[in-house]
Structures are given as C-alpha cells and as structure tokens.
Chain A
C-alpha cells in the first residue's frame, strides 16, 4: 500500500455477505482463499492453524480452524455459530457472516443473512442443485438479500465442462423462479485450484463473465438501502441539562429509510403532530452549529425540530404524505430460534425498531418445508429452526413497512418473557 492507496481507503464501500455451506462443499476453502489472496490471513494465524492441523493428524491445512474459534467447535470439527470474518481490497471492505449450512442451523443462517447485502451460494458441480441449495436460496429470498452469487464449485472435477455448468444454471433458474430474488449471478469456479476466484481461469475460455473477487468488488450496492420512504425511529432524546445548551432538545437515532433535509415538514408518530426539521447534526463534527444539508440511511444523526413536541424513544419521525402502516395486527413470516416450541396464543415480548411491546400469537397459518419449499398447512408445531407464517396482535400499534420494502422497519424479534432469550425473528408481510 502506498500513500495514494491510503487516501483511497477513506472512500471504500462496505459489503456484507453471507456464506452458507455444508462440510464438503468447499466453503472453508473458498473463504480461506479469499482471505489468503487478499492477504488477510496473518502469519501467526496461519502458523497456529498449521500447528493444530498437524496435531490433529490432517494431511492438509484445515482453513476452517481459522473461523472455528470456540473450544467445542474445534473439538467437534464443526461450525456452531455465525463467525464473522473481515477482509479488504483497495476497493471495498468486506464482512463475511460465515454460517453452517445444515438444516439444524437454519437459525444461524437467518441471523447471518439479516444484515447481508449479498449471499454466496455454493453448488458442487458434480452434484448439481441439492436440498441444501433450495434451503440456502429460500433463506436468501426470505431475508431479502439484494444480491445472490451462485458459485458452481469444483469445476476441476468435471473437466471444466461448459455443459455441466449450463445445466446447473438452468436448474437453478428453475428454482429461483419460485423465489423472490432479484439479482442472481453465476460463476464457475474451483476454490481449491483458484479458477475464477481472484484470477481469471485459463481452463474455462467459454466463460465470459467476471471472477468472484471482481464481482464482489464491483456489484452495485449503493441502492440497497431504501432512500424513498422517510423513516426515523427515535432512539434517544438528548437534553444536555447545561446552561450552555439550555434549550437544546435533540432526537437521536439511525435513519432507516429515505432522505431527510432541514426545513422538511415531518410528522411524528404516534402523536400525529407536524413540525419542521430545524437542523440535522451529523456525526462528523462536534459543533452544534455545523449541520448537514441532508441525511439518509444508515446514518446515525441528531435532529432538532422547530417546535417543542413531546417525543420519546419508540416514536417515529416520517414525512407527512408518506406514513408507514400503523396497526396492532401483524402478518409475518417467522424463523423460530428456541428449543421451546412456539405457543399458539402464547405471549411474547417484542422489539421493533426502537419500540418495546408485547404480543400474542393469534394464528399459525402454515409451516414451510425449507427443503422442498412446500407449505405445510396442517403442521402447526413450530420448533427450533422452523419457518412459519403467523399473525400476531401487539399491545400497542406498531409503525411498520413490509419487510420487502424496508428491512429495518419490517423486522421484529420475539423474546421469551421468562428467559429473556430471543426466540423468534419476524419479517412483516
């Protein structure tokens, strides 16, 4: 890196992507290669992995040991939890949410997918579309991950055959036509040999597309956030209690949609009062007089209004002519995350934007078989890792959008009131 590249670093974009895969599909090899080729694996980490691989009697260096940090994972040789890995190229910084791909880890996949801009789905070229491909794609669709890259891996084991690749692509398109996915790309790769991962493969002249790294660096992500529907959930009210800023009353929060500007007329929910935005303080400076001309998701800001209205945490600031849904009856898809099954008519605590409330599970409509994507209308037993459509009624009206429209104002978590554990992840329909 030289000084010029150093300047570029300030203008890097951030891409969060998720990978799901089972033991043998080469996921660890692929991640290991991305990290290694971007020089994100350090010598001391590599030495530690080599040492452990040797001690375990492995023939090859097991790159999974880089991510499997917990004692239990290392002992059992499995990834239990979501592991976050970081690497950067001169163009972008990447956060990988690496999740185990087995059905019993659906909840971990859902967790990793919840914040991802992109999903990497690995398909073994020899095996084609499997049950797990359905599962991983369904989760990407359910969680509305904006981009999907299907890596058809182990091309070296099928003689780099275009026919094999084309068949998998056709098969996958059939699958994705049943899902709600928008932007799907296909790349034939060999993670082990490095074909089309960072460098263009010399073994597949017939493939005219870009390499995986190029795609990760260049896929257009700046329109992934919703910049249309203005939503500002109030997180914290700032009152300095000091003579210097005696009258200051700032509403702090993170913008979840739209673009806010000073002088915009806004409406406050639930009170319904309107006011004008006086100032928007960015984070860039600690000077009340310095304000921005506009603010957008996912910026954390502090807003002041021209009139004194009683506003508190859990309220939402929106535009007068574009308000979210306001209701106590909410339809949603839910992924269950607890070994205690969901209780029909059971009561749970919920968190939605910055609002806390309680809810009752009114209806369990159907369960989804994540392998076949079939609806199971008669199976209402919702246990760990199950995905279902339900209806809840909340103690107080929520201000929400459909999850499709906004992943922040459209998501809810359910919490067990006895253990305080997060037991359900809901996506509002």
Chain B
C-alpha cells in the first residue's frame, strides 16, 4: 500500500506557498517585508518556489533603522542580486531627518518603535496593499491571535477584537480603498520548524546566527553588542564573548546568547535544549506585558 503522507515541514511549506500565491492573486501591489533575519530569508525562499520559474512578482521592502548589524546588510544585498529581485529601502534616518519621527532619548534608546513610521510611510508612498511578513504565532502571545490575512484600516492599525474569522483555506483579502493587509504565511511555523527547514533546504543565513567572538556589554541581563549606537553607563564595561544571535533586529535591542553553535545542526540541538523563547532576547518586547499588541495596533509588523 502506498501511503500518501507529507511530513510536517512539507505541509507547512505547501501551506505557506498557498498563502503567498493567494496574496499575489488577490492583491494589486503586494510587497515582501525583508529584515535580513532567518524568517524573512525563509519567506524569500518560499516566494521563489511559489512562482518558479518566474521571478518573485513583487519587491522586497527593507525598513532600515540605520542600527542594523552590518552583516545583515551585506547578506541582504547579496541575496537581492542573486535572485534578481527589486529592493526598496524605507529609511528611519530619513523619517528622523524630515522630522516625521523623533529619536528616543536615554540609556535604552531604540529605533524599534520608529520603524512603524517608516513602514507606514513606505506603504503609502508605493501604495502597497499587502505586505508579506515572516511573523509566527509562536513568537509572542499577541501574535498567537494573528490571521494569515490580517486586516489594517486606513491608518495601518490592527483591531484585534474585530478580526475576520479564517476558515479552511478561504482567505478573504477584500478591502476598501486605503486599507491594506499584513500577511503571515509562516503563522503555523515554530522557531524549530524554521531551523529544520533551513537545514532541509540548505539555506544560507547571515553569519551572526553562528557563534563568533564579539565585543559585548551586559545590561539588564541581556548581552548587547557594543556599537556606536549604544552609550555606556559608567559601571558598564566592554568584554569579548563567544556569542550568537537567535533573532536579528536592531543592534540596540537584540540580545546575543553565549553559544558554541557554529552550524545549523548545532543550533537545532541548542534550541531543542533551550528553556527560553527567542523573543526573550528582545528588550523591545519587555517594555510592558502587552508591548507587542500595543505596537501592532499602531501598525507594527
């Protein structure tokens, strides 16, 4: 007897590709939000598969805070060139220079929240009606309630209490003028699935995910990379540590973990044994109990 069985990674892959194709079919001007992190790298890979042998029929959009890890930018530019995609960069620095965003002050100043301004500006400038993102429901409790097709009003806001029910594989992307959608094909993936998929498909990822020596400073139990964007308190000192990153955000708010994992298999074993979530390395989520929901309501990813 032949068993018609797909393993869970192939089911998740088929589901994500279905959602990506649905986006291309239902919307006039979609875009793929690309951060240079592992989830968005998986997204680009899936988008390539979805339309192969044609090219990805929409641009990649990077919201550049100016506080990125240099390794991510190098990786981004190489990938874009390789796949022949169009890249649009929305700059937080521009928004600050134009007075549309005001830089945070103080020790823990971060441009994380300011990304929302640049994102909404970029959406408006290019008239994108759907933005694909790599967010997953397992990342954070407010994201656990997200839909594949997440509706945003004309101000880019998310109304968690008034979401469209999503049944079977019938995705409703109907909207009025000025409204748009955030679309999350990786909704049902976990951190582990993403790494297993990277291993299975042999995907290249930025070097900062692997263990390396880095000059760091410890603040509020987080290992932060020493950089021009971080001002030190008198008692803080810079040390060289053997670390890697579990997520890639801004240098100012993404913590590293002490780790010897230097390849994807090592990382998978490390995650399997890990007792904290990957968002645990993000100070931006720790500002309050509902920090993510509050940012999402305003138009965050």
A interface list, Cβ under 8 A from B: 1-3, 6, 9-14, 42-45, 48, 52, 66-72, 74, 80-86, 88, 92-93, 95, 107-108, 110-111, 114-115, 222, 225, 227, 235-236, 238-242, 244-245, 248, 250, 252-254, 259, 281, 283, 286, 288, 296-300, 302, 313, 337, 349, 351-352, 354, 407-408, 411-413, 415, 420-422, 425
Complex Cα distance, B276 from A12, in Å, reads: 23
Interface contact A67-B273, CB-CB below 8 Å:
no
Interface contact A86-B188, CB-CB below 8 Å:
yes
- Chain B residues lying within 8 Å of A252, measured Cβ to Cβ, are 21, 50-51
Interface contact A114-B168, CB-CB below 8 Å:
yes
Interface contact B144-A67, CB-CB below 8 Å:
yes
- Chain B residues lying within 8 Å of A283, measured Cβ to Cβ, are 10, 13-14, 17, 49
Question: In chain A, what residue has the closest Cβ to B6?
Answer: A299
- Chain A residues lying within 8 Å of B51, measured Cβ to Cβ, are 236, 238, 252
Complex Cα distance, B200 from A265, in Å, reads: 34
- Chain A residues lying within 8 Å of B283, measured Cβ to Cβ, are none
Interface contact A13-B7, CB-CB below 8 Å:
yes
- Residue from A241, A259, A421 with most neighbouring chain B CB atoms (10 Å): A421
Question: In chain A, what residue has the closest Cβ to B270?
Answer: A1
- Chain B residues lying within 8 Å of A425, measured Cβ to Cβ, are 165, 167
Q: Beyond the given A13-B7, A74-B290, A82-B145, could you list 15 further A-B residue pairs with CB under 8 A, ordered by the A residue number?
A: A6-B268, A13-B5, A68-B141, A83-B144, A235-B22, A236-B51, A281-B52, A283-B10, A286-B49, A300-B13, A351-B171, A408-B169, A413-B167, A413-B170, A425-B165
A-B contact count (CB 8 A): 202
- Chain B residues lying within 8 Å of A408, measured Cβ to Cβ, are 168-169
- Chain A residues lying within 8 Å of B263, measured Cβ to Cβ, are none
- Chain B residues lying within 8 Å of A235, measured Cβ to Cβ, are 18, 21-22, 25
Interface residues as binary, B100-111 with A (CB distance below 8 Å gives 1, 0 otherwise): 000000000000
- How many whole Å from B198's CB to the nearest CB in chain A? 12
Interface contact B49-A411, CB-CB below 8 Å:
no
Given A69-B144, A337-B165, A425-B167, A254:B8 Cβ within 8 A = no
Complex Cα distance, B293 from A182, in Å, reads: 41
Residue B265 contacts which of A6, A80, A108 (CB distance < 8 angstroms)? A6
- How many whole Å from B221's CB to the nearest CB in chain A? 11
Question: In chain A, what residue has the closest Cβ to B297?
Answer: A71
Residue B168 contacts which of A88, A300, A349, A411 (CB distance < 8 angstroms)? A411
Interface contact A110-B167, CB-CB below 8 Å:
yes
Interface contact A11-B7, CB-CB below 8 Å:
yes
Residue A245 contacts which of B5, B53, B141 (CB distance < 8 angstroms)? B53
Interface contact B293-A70, CB-CB below 8 Å:
yes
Interface contact A72-B161, CB-CB below 8 Å:
yes
- Chain B residues lying within 8 Å of A81, measured Cβ to Cβ, are 145, 160, 163
